[in-house]
Structure 1
Amino acid sequence: MSRRGFGLLPVLAALLVAGDDNKVDGPVVGLDLGTTFSCVGVYKNGVVEIVPSDQGNRMMPSTVAFDDEETLVGEAAKNTASRIFDVKRLMGRRFEDSAVQRDLKTWPFKVVADSEGNAAISINRSGKAKVLKPEDISSLILQKLKARASDYLGREVLHAVVTVPAVFDHAMRQAVKTAGSLAGLEVLRIINEPTAAAVAYGLEKRGTGEILLVYDLGGGTCDVSILRSEADGTLTVLASSGDPRLGGQDFDRKVVAHLANTFKKKSGKDADLTALERLRVEVEKAKRKLSTVPQVTIKVEGFFDGTDLSETLTRAQFEKLNHELFMRTLEPVRAVLKDAGLEKTDVNTVILAGGSARIPKVQQILSQFFDGKELTRSINPDEVVAYGAAIQAASLSTEGDEQEVPLIDVTPLSLGIQTAGGFMTSVLKRNTPLPAENTMVFSTHKDNQEMATVKVFQGERLMAKNNRLLGSFQIKGIPPAPRGVPQIHVSFKVDVNGLLSVEARDTSSGQSGELKVEDQPSKEQIEEMIKEAADFEREDQQDLARAEAKLALKLLIRSLHLAAEMALEEDASTFLAAASDAQDWLAANPDAAAEEIHEKREELEGNVPEMPSQNAPQSAELDMEGHDEL
């Protein structure tokens, strides 16, 4: 398949600019479904209010527990032995994902593969095993938040805006929407957590032209986004990055490992997972206290094998144990600055979001990175994401008096197709503003080719095999024609919620195909792919050069065959012998370096008669432009 030019340019449009006709009757709430804690915000009487529980707690643990008679959610499930947590890390993921396999070793509950191979949780109820999808469990958390809001407002809540991490993929976003439906909620919008935090402050920043950096360090992830407040009031996301395995839980694990090791040295006993989980609950409490006090005492009675655990943890010890992790939180900051083409001095405002952003040492490190800049935290970092979601939610209700904040978000990874030689040809680049659409025109790779296969990939590596295959489809019934003549338009579209659709159409026959993406990489895989693209840049360049050299040699072989058809018998034999020699050499040297392949091509060219000009091979550089053959 050969690319012959560009079709439509990306369509860049502001998100969330609904008119009154698109608003719903009744209340719309903002929901922050967090890894460790969740909360719900409502816009009431001109202000955002975070809805408290009956006990007055504004944050609700993202925890569920099951016993034979009832299901416990939130605070009620927090301290039960059978509690299930971290469900957000399983949403939209395959069971065999490396991240799932690593995490399940530390969880006290059982993670299994469901009938479709997706990660699920097995519970035991009334002596029978039951498999629940992450969406099932997340829906219980959303249902509890919905009930809170309904009680607070005095009427049933049926609509919501829900936030997700910036690099949540298609499958995860779909899982969130499914969880909302199971909870009796229509999810009107899915917006990224850092973007929601920017919206919370955006009203006072609108039209200023300021550059905002949102640093969102939660329980499970570290997300960073850079936005610009446009003159027309739009908030434009310039770049997003993050670390999917860096957050408060990782800080807790460092402390748990330290205390467990100390316990083992004193008692000679090696605690099991159940004991470590009880310790982790206490460590999480201690971590929060250390944000305001210099030291805490951690006590767990009957910690393991009848032996108590009691240790003092100072803030200095906590910071030392987690120093490396704290410094790692700056890596996404550097990444978004680089992707946005900005220097740190260009950032006007640094906004804190996420509970772990309240850690004093984290704030100190971040402020020092920005040369002592004061960090913006007038809105509680625990609540700022729900706060921003509530503002957007109010603008979608006929009852709200808040104007909608137009947003332009971005794609987390490049999207493209595999072309000849195994190249990754990007149709939509990483950090392309959303919604986005781009059409590229391709053609056939062989003469009289009647079918074309379109393989869709996501990632930053130069060779398609190193990226994630999202799916493939075929176009059949292409009218026979010389290579390069058929015109096949391949269109990529990503909607306002970051969901992808791909369509390809042959213009002469009208034959078409489309891809319904059912699964995309997990949040962790997105970050791993970006990191791999940097780590393997040199290797990828070598693969690229080797593939280009092979394709150039194959073009020469094709030209030799064409020349043989037109030449005198003696020259024809020479051309065919050279072509056969080249084919045998390629088969015997599949891993030859680019330089060796180029030398072989030059050797062949020097040993054959001059070929007719119309059959001379195109230069590798010209033919490789776009890496366009499938």
Structure 2
Amino acid sequence: MSCGRFCFLVPFLAALLVAGEEKVDGPVIGIDLGTTFSCVGIVAPHGLVEIIPGPSGQRLLPSQVAFEEDGTVLVGEAATSAGASQRIFDVKRLLGRSFKDTALQRDIKNFPFKVVADSDGRAAVSITVKGKAVVKRPEEISSLLLAQLKQRASEHLGREVLHAVISVPAFFDDAMRTAVKVAAAGAKLEVLRIINEPTAAALAYGHGGHGPSTAREILLVYDLGGGTCDVSILQREADGLKVLASSGDPHLGGRLAERLASHGDGALERLRIEAEKAKRRLSSVPQVAVKLEGFANGKDLSETLTRAQFEKLNDDLFQRTLEPVKTALKDSGLAKSDVNTVILAGGSARIPKVQQLLSEFFDGKENLGRRTALTRSINPDEVVAHGAALQAAALSVQGSGQELRLIDVTPLSLGIQTAGGFMTTVIKRNTPLPAENMMIFSTHKDNQESATVKVFQGERLMAKNNHLMGSFQIKGISPAPRGVPQIQVLFKVDVNGLVAVEATDSGSGKGEVLKVASELSHERIEEMIQESESLEKEDQKDFARAEAKMALKLFIRSLHHAAEMALEDDASTFLAAANEGADWLAANADAEAEEIHEKREELEGNVPELPTAKAASAAEVET
């Protein structure tokens, strides 16, 4: 709650719900909407997953769209082979992001196309069509990719596909997930479920004999591709999967393209395509030749790259990918020896040097017990779509009949600001989804008829240091003495990670609902987690100071209350102590907790014993 409006009383109810989802009558496809490549899968009647190829037989669709100046639109492979000057790639990085986002501003410096702010202040792309500037939102561009994947599936099945499960990075926030749904709607697809990419990879690993049959297993999903590294630790049990922790690094890659660019001022998008091809080939051959005709000033680019050169060029980036692994282990409270299986996902996870570093990190063991430490049982490029297809089948009456129980987690704690400026957490970080928790709060002032709810996201003890997600007012509270009304505040986070907050006055029945859309990027979430750890001591100091101030203010209020009930002589003593305390607080705003406690003890020693039945409650304090 906003400072001074509501005060914390007691936790009321905490419940984690696993809601059953109604199945649809018709095919449901699983889509991996990737940064570099995308693909689509479906579970066939015989129970095996099929990754559906395009007309040329390629199962991966390049996540690129090209716009010609005459209005022609080219999608996927056609976009990569065209000589279009308006080729858009990495659009996934723009979904649901504010144009002013600091990390986005760093990203767009590497784009050869123009990124602008749309009418809502969101990131968009500016292109030229028939001589006029046209703004294309990332949802529009992504919908073209999704439509292409939908067409593949529809032609493969011989009927139109209307429903899908789409995977997203674990740290996609509310705004980004909503943008994915908007993009799907543009492709005339209804999203039945958004599934986190690591969870999808873990599902794929356990299907069709790829993984061991076990009642309990700790899985670590290492997803490296498209310039990002995502790591999640999951616990597999007999009845489903539970995400224990997630971490990641959203800014990796591009080093090879930079190396090639040093040969001249050529077209960046052509370089990126060739660099991507070279990187993939070097995973299976010791050297590759890179050639580009008319690269710079009419001159051709020709260079031979060895795997050793590539590994040396990217060694620091490869080492950085181990940091999310360490963070996820720390957050989950596990040691690396607790991990039974490491699942590789993403095209870059096939790089031999990356696999070597991971194997060495897990003590160089290729086998942990009877289980393989690094599993490559499914193509890393397709493993996420494979898992999404399995989840899709569980949501269709035509599916394989396999019921899947998935439990993902919240990336950051969710809560409200209470009296004293404290962050009162309602749903903790890494809580399994869907999650639901309710707490009861009360008013600070007598006959207060409205209050403001401020919703925050983060791990810091004081609300001001966390991310403000949104606020709303609840009006029509039944007039009553302070501390008497009961305001029920309910947080709900659905299986897709979308947040809703409800506040209801139990007396009048009046309430409000807020659909919260976070604008935090993957990078900012990671920064906030690191800040909460590095500033823990400072936060504890601020928290102790705020608690001490609250205790002194409670005592001052008790003195005023005692003065109203006491005889004249005692009343004067109580009022004098109350005024002295208030004046001291005003003059010592930056006092440390110990000094504040000492002042309170001094005042307590100068007055008669307070009538305990009339003492103020901490639940009613305002700062």
1:534 maps onto 2:533 in alignment: yes
Once the two structures are superposed, what CA deviation does each residue of 1:129-150 show, in whole Å capped at 9, x if it has no partner?
Answer: 1212111110000001111112
Choose which of 230, 233, 236 in structure 2 pairs with 1:226. Answer: 233
1:5 maps onto 2:7 in alignment: no
Question: Counterpart of 1:130?
Answer: 134
CA distance in 2, matches of 1:370, 1:288: 25
CA distance in 1, matches of 2:325, 2:622: 38
Runs of 4+ in 1 over 6 A off after TM superposition: 615-618, 627-630
Once the two structures are superposed, what CA deviation does each residue of 1:564-601 show, in whole Å capped at 9, x if it has no partner?
Answer: 43455565455444444443443344333333333443
CA distance in 1, matches of 2:312, 2:596: 53
Q: Decide which moves more: 302-311 or 530-539.
A: 302-311
Question: Counterpart of 2:188?
Answer: 184
Q: Quote the RMSD (CA, aligned, Å).
A: 2.5
Q: Decide which moves more: 320-329 or 193-202.
A: 320-329
- Measure how far apart 1:112 and its partner are: 1.4
Question: Counterpart of 2:316?
Answer: 324
SS of corresponding position for 1:443: strand
CA distance in 1, matches of 2:216, 2:538: 40
User: CA contact under 8 A between 1:443 and 1:487: conserved in structure 2?
Assistant: yes
CA distance in 2, matches of 1:301, 1:602: 82
Question: Counterpart of 2:612?
Answer: 614
Question: Counterpart of 2:369?
Answer: none
Change (3 A) 1:72 1:555: same
Question: Counterpart of 1:23?
Answer: 23
SS of corresponding position for 2:431: coil
- Measure how far apart 1:176 and its partner are: 0.9
Q: Decide which moves more: 385-394 or 593-602.
A: 593-602
Question: Counterpart of 2:353?
Answer: 361
Change (3 A) 1:628 1:296: farther
Gap runs ≥5 in structure 2: 1-5, 367-372
CA distance in 1, matches of 2:535, 2:543: 12
Change (3 A) 1:309 1:584: farther
1:213 maps onto 2:214 in alignment: no
SS of corresponding position for 2:15: coil
Change (3 A) 1:167 1:629: farther
Once the two structures are superposed, what CA deviation does each residue of 1:534-573 show, in whole Å capped at 9, x if it has no partner?
Answer: 2222222222122212222222332333344345556545
* Letter in structure 2 aligned against 1:176: V
Change (3 A) 1:598 1:58: same
User: CA contact under 8 A between 1:344 and 1:370: conserved in structure 2?
Assistant: yes
Question: Counterpart of 2:557?
Answer: 558
Once the two structures are superposed, what CA deviation does each residue of 1:364-405 show, in whole Å capped at 9, x if it has no partner?
Answer: 111122222331111000000111111222232333234132
* 1:248-327 matches, cutoff 5 A: 250-251=252-253, 253-261=254-262, 263=263, 271=265, 275-327=267-319
* 1:48-59 matches, cutoff 5 A: 48-59=49-60
CA distance in 1, matches of 2:573, 2:33: 71
* 1:67-106 matches, cutoff 5 A: 67=68, 68-79=70-81, 80-106=84-110
| Matched length | 604
* Letter in structure 1 aligned against 2:393: A
CA distance in 1, matches of 2:476, 2:24: 46
SS of corresponding position for 2:375: coil
Choose which of 323, 342, 353 in structure 2 pairs with 1:350. Answer: 342
- Measure how far apart 1:306 and its partner are: 4.4
SS of corresponding position for 2:453: strand
Change (3 A) 1:546 1:277: farther
User: CA contact under 8 A between 1:410 and 1:434: conserved in structure 2?
Assistant: yes
Question: Counterpart of 1:163?
Answer: 167
CA distance in 2, matches of 1:562, 1:535: 42
Q: Decide which moves more: 443-452 or 358-367.
A: 443-452
- Measure how far apart 1:429 and its partner are: 0.7
* Letter in structure 1 aligned against 2:249: D
CA distance in 2, matches of 1:376, 1:150: 32
Q: What TM-score, normalized by structure 2, do the two folds share?
A: 0.91
User: CA contact under 8 A between 2:220 and 2:234: conserved in structure 1?
Assistant: yes
CA distance in 2, matches of 1:561, 1:353: 65
User: CA contact under 8 A between 1:391 and 1:402: conserved in structure 2?
Assistant: no
SS of corresponding position for 1:447: coil
User: CA contact under 8 A between 1:120 and 1:134: conserved in structure 2?
Assistant: yes
CA distance in 2, matches of 1:605, 1:300: 83
- Measure how far apart 1:515 and its partner are: 0.9
Change (3 A) 1:628 1:531: farther
User: CA contact under 8 A between 2:554 and 2:618: conserved in structure 1?
Assistant: no
Question: Counterpart of 1:488?
Answer: 487
